[in-house]
Amino acid sequence: MSRLRIIFVASLVILGVLLVFTVFRPMTSGEKFSTVARESVIRQEDWWIIQLDIINREGKEMSYIINWSTGGETYIERVSIKDGRVFTYIHYVYPEAVKGGKVNLEVYKEGEATPFEQITYHIDVD
């Protein structure tokens, strides 16, 4: 075999191995994690409703800190979620509380300094 053909076959094998790890590794890793899903912003006549789900897949009951900032006020709420459960969180946003048209959300695992979810909602207050 020529040297070029050997390099070509070796690169195809490496590519195949990388594709297998990309597709099958996340499914078999068994890592425990939390996530935020099913976010929605609902416009009402005089306010907005922001709704989201926090899903606990940590393998144990976890406490979470939900931090809302509207540019003028900050709201902090704590919630405890059992393993494998989903918590639906609903937050009402009133136009007079929103500064600069932004509402910021951060979700932390209790005891951690870095949020695992950060979202900025741009709300038209006019």
Nearest to 46 by CA among 102, 101, 93: 93
Judge contact between 40 and 105, C-beta under 8 A: no
The predicted pLDDT at position 28 comes to: 46
pTM equals: 0.67
One digit per residue, the tens of pLDDT, for the chain of length 126 reads 688 888 888 888 888 888 777 776 555 445 567 778 778 888 888 888 889 899 988 888 999 999 988 877 788 999 999 988 999 999 888 888 788 788 888 999 888 889 888 988 888 766
The predicted pLDDT at position 1 comes to: 63
Judge contact between 50 and 120, C-beta under 8 A: no
Query: Tokens 């979620």, residue?
Result: 81
| Burial of residue 115, with CB atoms counted within 10 A of its CB: 0-12 exposed, 13-18 middle, 19 or more buried | middle
Other beta carbons less than 10 A from residue 65's beta carbon: 16
